[in-house]
Structure 1
Amino acid sequence: MPPPPPPDAAPQVSLPDSSGSYVPPMTENDLSAIRSRYLGVDKKKRKIRKMNDRKFVFDWDAQDDTLVEDSFVAVGSNRQGAQVMFGRGHLAGMDDGGPSGPRKSETTVTHLADAMERRKAAKAGFDERHWTEKPLEEMKERDWRIFREDFSISARGGQIPHPLRSWAESAIPPAILECIENIGYKEPSPIQRQAIPIGLQNRDIIGIAETGSGKTAAFVIPMLTFILKLPPFTDDIRHLGPYALILAPTRELAQQIESETKKFATPLGYHCVSIVGGRAVEEQQFNLREGAEIIIATPGRLKDVLERHVLVLSQCRYVVMDEADRMVHLGFEVDLTFILDALPAETMQGEDLGEQMDVDGETLVKKGRTRVTTLFSATMPAAVERLARKYLKRPAVITIGEAGRAVDTVEQRVEFVIGDEKKKQKLLEILNSGQFAAPIIVFVNQKKTADMVAKDLSRAGWNAATLHSGKNQEQREASLQALRSGESDVLVATDLAGRGIDVQDVSLVINYQMAGTIEAYVHRIGRTGRAGKLGTAITFLTNDDDEVMYDLKQEISKSPVSKVPAELAKHEAAQHKVSREMKRKRDAEDQG
């Protein structure tokens, strides 16, 4: 019996899709593409690497790509054809989104880059709200991580408390919160957000933050919280010295810290006294007659006062070193060691023995600590690390932004200006342009240059004041006050004004002479762009500044608001670091 004839080819029919409309029939090419894709038919033989082949094989089969969009290309332009076989919206069991869009769980977590985080979030019912929209009790660890990233806060040292979101949510005593409100602090700065919660734990801190970041309040608020729990000063104990000591590198910074501290301390009934050079010891001794809970001092004068037995530190329990790198740079390391060693011996023994200071039945310092030591610095040179290792016990280390970097709110400009006459012309051209409002600070490297530039500005009709080490203390204070009050438009200063001097709303800093180091440059230009405001720094460069050109180029390139000028970018000295020895050798070759 002969076999039956082969059946005719099945007629091509059009089937309705989910919307009821008819779609074109699938072609043989479409069917073969699907078979090839999902059934493994007609797949090319994959290239297999031999075990002894040391070269990495980068070839791969295009059909290994499992990207959903590519699968539609393999099927052809007719996406509806897949729906005939598998139903709308599912291609080989995968949801392509379809007209109805992606599933709800996918919508919630699509912005999470990490696959594992996406899976965990989808499983746990991820809360997509930003931390600003959540109450404090609903903050998760991920929210705190985002919070720290938002404010460039980095902290290490173990058991770091969460940073402050606002003053109202903090554990700061109500009396100090009232002072904060009266002073007008709206929001904590980044260093305050992290340093204050750690400080409230009576824990040693190393704070590394850019200049003008609000460090003073970051250590004054925890310090006053600490003092609030100590017995009030009476005639029986006031002669034993202060409860807290703040050390600063310069008289100007010490007096600025005193002014800021008094805003908090005076309403609480505490006394602050500054002990700085440039004033008679007898005057400072008179100020100490009634005792003071807080002493703000420069290391040199404080060492002198301690040696004369005008002051003792028998009950000093809180020590702050502000601008520690500057103090070391100015040669105060020996004085600092003398002062810290002058603290009561039983305090140091108490730390070693794990004893605790008990006041009114309440343990002030946990884990056997009897003194809190806080160190703030913009950079951490070896000498500062030595101090930290010797005098700080298991400190928490806080870094805001990138240590030693200029603030992002300062636009840095550079101009090559050769010769004093051209510099003078350029300076007057900038000042007379009307682009920059007073106050303005002009930095130079020598005292005589400062006096000369100030004289030139006065001849040109500008009210200029000077600040350098050749002035006595009264003259320095008068120059700063003249700039702050608006009596002077321009302050011409050496690096004495490069650190810690806070004059509000400085719109422009001009480096008439480039600083000798990039650290000094960063501190100079930090006088503008403070407290989140924008500022401009213009630097006059000459070929003699080749030692710092490479670092200057690197510094400007990090700034989001500055551009490295072509002349500096192409300069030979900016291509690699030039040391003093290299410069001396090159000069000798030129002379030979």
Structure 2
Amino acid sequence: MPPGGRSRSRSPLATETELDKAERRKERRSRSRSRDRKNKVDKSDKRRSRSPERRRRSRSKDRKKDGKHKHSKPSKKEKDAGGEDGELDEEGGAKTKVPLSLEELLAKKKAEEEAFAKPKFLTKEERAAEAMKRRQEQVDAQRKRIDEERKKQVGFLHKGKDPRDDRDRRDRYDRDRDRDRREDWRQGRGDDDRFKEPAEPAQRERREEPESRKELKDKEKELEAIKERYLGMKKKKKRIRRLNDRKFVFDWDAGDDTSIDYNALYKEKHEVQFFGRGHIAGIDIKQQKKDQSKFYGDLLEKRRTDEEKTQEIKRLKTVKEKENKRKHDDRHWMEKTLEEMAERDWRIFKEDYNISCKGGRIPNPIRKWKEANLPKDLLDAIDTIGYKEPTPIQRQAIPIGLQNRDIIGIAETGSGKTAAFLIPLLVWITSLPKIERKIDIIDKGPYAIILAPTRELAQQIEEETIKFGKHIGIRTVAVIGGISREEQGFKLRQGCEIVIATPGRLIDVLENRYLVLAQCTYVVMDEADRMIDMGFEPDVQQILDYLPVSNMKPDTEDAEDYEKMLANFNTTQKYRQTVMFTATMPPTVEKLARKYLRRPAVVYIGSVGKPTERCEQIVYMVGHQDKRKKLLEILQAGIEPPILIFVNQKKGVDVLAKSLEKMGFSATTLHGGKGQEQREFALASLKGGAKDILVATDVAGRGIDIKDVSLVINYDMAKNIEDYTHRIGRTGRAGKSGCAITFLTKDDNQVFYDLKQVIVASPVSVCPPELANHPDSQNKPGATVFKKRKDEKVFIQ
């Protein structure tokens, strides 16, 4: 038992004395209650025995004695009845009641109504006071309601209180105090509990402590949530281990058997010998499955009808054909027939010829001329001319053109674009009756016009068209500058199916009524980017506006529908077909195509806008005075003619050609200042072998096809990389290799960067160190260059 503690058990004697005291207390209370009850009964009996007169007198005396009548307030009814009409009697203090008249009541009521209806002005202070009064009334009512609810709650708790709870509380208090003392004694805090607080308040604090902790935790969580919301605290992501991850254990346990791989007993296990076919208990699982499938197959075969059997035979035949087709997929596309070509074969075919297309429902390319579905006369003409195999642009552009669809062909120079747009045109013209053709072309004009940027290119296209036309009876007229307009008008009035023209002279002929385009349904723009660069865009638009509008294609999906376009292709009133061929695709050409072409199919051949990969590019960094000396060294090296030399100015062309003639070289000139006859003579002498060198400006850089050009020399570097591309495109044509030499000076620094990129991209060319390391070749012209600062060294003492 702890010191200072008290025993919790009570003796029987103490219990008996407490019970006796309680019984005596009850008896005393009952006696006092009975005595009080008897006194009340006696008083009521005395009150009943008195007469009414005596009771009235005694009541009046008491009131006078207490002075209650004097200070008592009159009631509300008394005020209303006697406030105005009644008067108090001065002697006896009694009221004299005077009856009110009906008129006075009505007048009083009317006055009250008027006063109520009449608006009353209240000042700001009065309104504030009224609002405070109302607010105070609401607060008082709310407090009163809360007080009433609290009283009800206290009364309810007091009502349900058991007298025995006090006794239990006392016992609990003693027990708690004893327990606290024992704990203090154990913890060595002393035995004296005089200064300790009672156990009951401490117990209450312990009960309230968990609630306060909970509130504190809630506040902390709220603060964390606010910080996370406004300060953007990063959440720590838990590392989630995949369920299929394996934890490789490098060490083995002591109980693991590590000798299993080395023990011969485990390596050479003895197999159990079974009877039958060598399987467990003589049962072959594979044989069972085979027998089971055969059983169900025979059962289905018995239940099938003849029609179902026929369908099953067809299905098995189809499956066999597919399997056979798959076996043939390994063959090259050249070994297959046209019907055996699969989608995969066509993809390989396009990759082989570097063909890529854009547009909906584009047909497959042609592999051979015989598979192109061309008329026999045209095939004979192709064979006679000597076209053995179609070029990549011809393989893809001809099937699209035969469907009467608009085409945008983007191909490198010398890729056979002329035949690509001529053959579909000739197919359609030959499908028309000859008699109708002769009548229509005289009255309504030609069926097709072909626009070219230069006279030389127009004459070259005319030569190719005449090669085809003389075999199938089609007439062609070239409308170009440098020739008499009246002579060209005479040829046009005689009638022709195709007109080949430059934009300027064709507008002149149209304005002077030498030519009408009433039935022109085929328009070709060759070297469209060159025409735009030369400033022919307004002329081209004006020519296209001369064409009839009635045969325009619909700008819908019907323009891509093979069946509808092909059905219209075989009629006289066919839709207008516009074909555009270009080496590059600048924004101006795209704008023109969007305006005049309807849902075109775009065909890309090779690297668009880049020089051919078969042309070796060589660059020399020289001064202006050293150019002629370097040129003489190159020409004396024994290079086979023909050779093209490009100069930027007309005067420079003539000066260089004369100096070459003096040195013993056979040279001719070609530039814009020459007449048409002189231009034709210069090209014919170079093609015929009479001259070995052609000195020209950029007029000869586009579209002119001179066979077997072995060397191109840029005596003056072109002003932009596009012209440079077309210059060197005169060599390395039609699958042959070539060489291009360029002389660079300090004045050409604006082209250094682009030229370096072109040479680096060529697989057969090497960029010289002078150009590669030049400062102007490191960045594009006009680009802002930020120089790096040198690293500063800080010395700390």
TM-score higher than 0.5 here? yes
Shift of 1:51: 4.5
Change (3 A) 1:515 1:159: same
Q: CA–CA distance in 1 between the matches of 2:431 and 2:567?
A: 9
Establish whether residue 246 from structure 1 lines up as the match of residue 450 from structure 2.
yes
Secondary structure of the corresponding residue to residue 162 of structure 1: coil
Say whether the 8 Å CA contact 2:521–2:574 is kept in structure 1. Answer: no
- Equivalent in the alignment of 1:396: 601
Please show how residues 361-380 of structure 1 align to structure 2 within 5 Å: 363-364=568-569, 370-380=575-585
The amino acid that maps onto 2:591 is R
Q: CA–CA distance in 2 between the matches of 1:568 and 1:546?
A: 10
The amino acid that maps onto 2:568 is T
Q: CA–CA distance in 2 between the matches of 1:264 and 1:572?
A: 53
Establish whether residue 274 from structure 1 lines up as the match of residue 478 from structure 2.
yes
Establish whether residue 480 from structure 1 lines up as the match of residue 683 from structure 2.
yes
Higher helix proportion: 2
- Superposed CA offset, 1:304-360 (max 9, x none): 11011110000101110000000010111101111101001322388899899xxxx
- Equivalent in the alignment of 2:357: 155
Q: CA–CA distance in 2 between the matches of 1:395 and 1:83?
A: 75
Shift of 1:369: 6.2
Establish whether residue 202 from structure 1 lines up as the match of residue 404 from structure 2.
yes
Q: CA–CA distance in 2 between the matches of 1:245 and 1:449?
A: 36
Establish whether residue 510 from structure 1 lines up as the match of residue 713 from structure 2.
yes
Say whether the 8 Å CA contact 2:493–2:514 is kept in structure 1. Answer: no
Establish whether residue 530 from structure 1 lines up as the match of residue 733 from structure 2.
yes
Secondary structure of the corresponding residue to residue 492 of structure 1: strand
Establish whether residue 382 from structure 1 lines up as the match of residue 587 from structure 2.
yes
From 511, 518, 541, the equivalent of 1:314 is 518
Establish whether residue 575 from structure 1 lines up as the match of residue 778 from structure 2.
yes
- Superposed CA offset, 1:440-488 (max 9, x none): 0000100011111111111110011010111111111111111111111
Q: CA–CA distance in 1 between the matches of 2:392 and 2:469?
A: 23
Change (3 A) 1:354 1:396: closer
Establish whether residue 140 from structure 1 lines up as the match of residue 342 from structure 2.
yes
Shift of 1:244: 0.8
Change (3 A) 1:61 1:296: farther
The amino acid that maps onto 1:409 is R
From 324, 334, 343, the equivalent of 2:547 is 343
From 416, 426, 446, the equivalent of 2:621 is 416
Say whether the 8 Å CA contact 1:354–1:369 is kept in structure 2. Answer: no
Establish whether residue 291 from structure 1 lines up as the match of residue 495 from structure 2.
yes
- Equivalent in the alignment of 1:164: 366
Change (3 A) 1:373 1:418: same
Change (3 A) 1:283 1:582: farther
From 575, 594, 612, the equivalent of 1:407 is 612
Q: CA–CA distance in 2 between the matches of 1:278 and 1:574?
A: 43
Shift of 1:536: 0.3
Secondary structure of the corresponding residue to residue 274 of structure 1: strand
From 331, 353, 357, the equivalent of 2:535 is 331
Change (3 A) 1:167 1:423: same
- Equivalent in the alignment of 2:697: 494
Q: CA–CA distance in 2 between the matches of 1:61 and 1:449?
A: 81
Establish whether residue 220 from structure 1 lines up as the match of residue 422 from structure 2.
yes
Identity of aligned residues (%): 58
Shift of 1:237: 4.5
Q: CA–CA distance in 1 between the matches of 2:416 and 2:473?
A: 23
Establish whether residue 547 from structure 1 lines up as the match of residue 547 from structure 2.
no
Say whether the 8 Å CA contact 1:351–1:369 is kept in structure 2. Answer: no
Secondary structure of the corresponding residue to residue 404 of structure 1: coil
- Equivalent in the alignment of 2:201: none
Secondary structure of the corresponding residue to residue 682 of structure 2: helix
Structure with the bigger RCO (C-alpha within 8 Å, sep 6+) is 1
Say whether the 8 Å CA contact 1:350–1:370 is kept in structure 2. Answer: no
Shift of 1:170: 1.2
Structural RMSD (CA): 3.1
The amino acid that maps onto 1:213 is S
The amino acid that maps onto 2:375 is P
Say whether the 8 Å CA contact 2:450–2:501 is kept in structure 1. Answer: yes
The amino acid that maps onto 1:489 is D
- Superposed CA offset, 1:110-144 (max 9, x none): xxxxxxxxxx9999557212212222221111111
- Equivalent in the alignment of 1:262: 466
TM-score under structure 1 normalisation? 0.75
The structure that has the greater radius of gyration is 2
Q: CA–CA distance in 2 between the matches of 1:545 and 1:121?
A: 64
Change (3 A) 1:141 1:582: same
The amino acid that maps onto 2:645 is V
- Superposed CA offset, 1:158-184 (max 9, x none): 111111111111112211111110000
Secondary structure of the corresponding residue to residue 519 of structure 1: helix
Q: CA–CA distance in 1 between the matches of 2:491 and 2:325?
A: 66
TM-score under structure 2 normalisation? 0.56
The runs of 5 or more residues in structure 1 that have no matched partner are 1-49, 64-75, 86-119, 584-592
Say whether the 8 Å CA contact 1:441–1:509 is kept in structure 2. Answer: yes
Say whether the 8 Å CA contact 2:415–2:733 is kept in structure 1. Answer: yes
The amino acid that maps onto 2:658 is K
- Equivalent in the alignment of 2:384: 182
Please show how residues 32-111 of structure 1 align to structure 2 within 5 Å: 51=237
Say whether the 8 Å CA contact 1:248–1:327 is kept in structure 2. Answer: yes
- Equivalent in the alignment of 1:98: none
The amino acid that maps onto 1:372 is Q
Shift of 1:535: 0.5
Q: CA–CA distance in 2 between the matches of 1:162 and 1:522?
A: 31
The amino acid that maps onto 2:592 is L
The runs of 5 or more residues in structure 2 that have no matched partner are 1-235, 250-260, 271-321, 786-797
Q: CA–CA distance in 2 between the matches of 1:193 and 1:62?
A: 61
Secondary structure of the corresponding residue to residue 741 of structure 2: strand
The amino acid that maps onto 1:229 is S
Say whether the 8 Å CA contact 2:438–2:495 is kept in structure 1. Answer: no
Change (3 A) 1:271 1:128: same
Say whether the 8 Å CA contact 2:641–2:710 is kept in structure 1. Answer: yes
Secondary structure of the corresponding residue to residue 129 of structure 1: coil
The amino acid that maps onto 1:310 is Y
Shift of 1:363: 3.4
Q: CA–CA distance in 1 between the matches of 2:371 and 2:482?
A: 43
Secondary structure of the corresponding residue to residue 687 of structure 2: helix
Number of aligned positions between the proteins? 472
Q: CA–CA distance in 1 between the matches of 2:247 and 2:673?
A: 78
Say whether the 8 Å CA contact 2:553–2:576 is kept in structure 1. Answer: no
Moved more, 283-292 or 215-224: 283-292
Say whether the 8 Å CA contact 1:350–1:369 is kept in structure 2. Answer: no
Say whether the 8 Å CA contact 1:278–1:473 is kept in structure 2. Answer: yes
Shift of 1:395: 0.5
- Superposed CA offset, 1:207-242 (max 9, x none): 000111110000000110111123432245522110
Establish whether residue 234 from structure 1 lines up as the match of residue 234 from structure 2.
no
Change (3 A) 1:306 1:350: farther
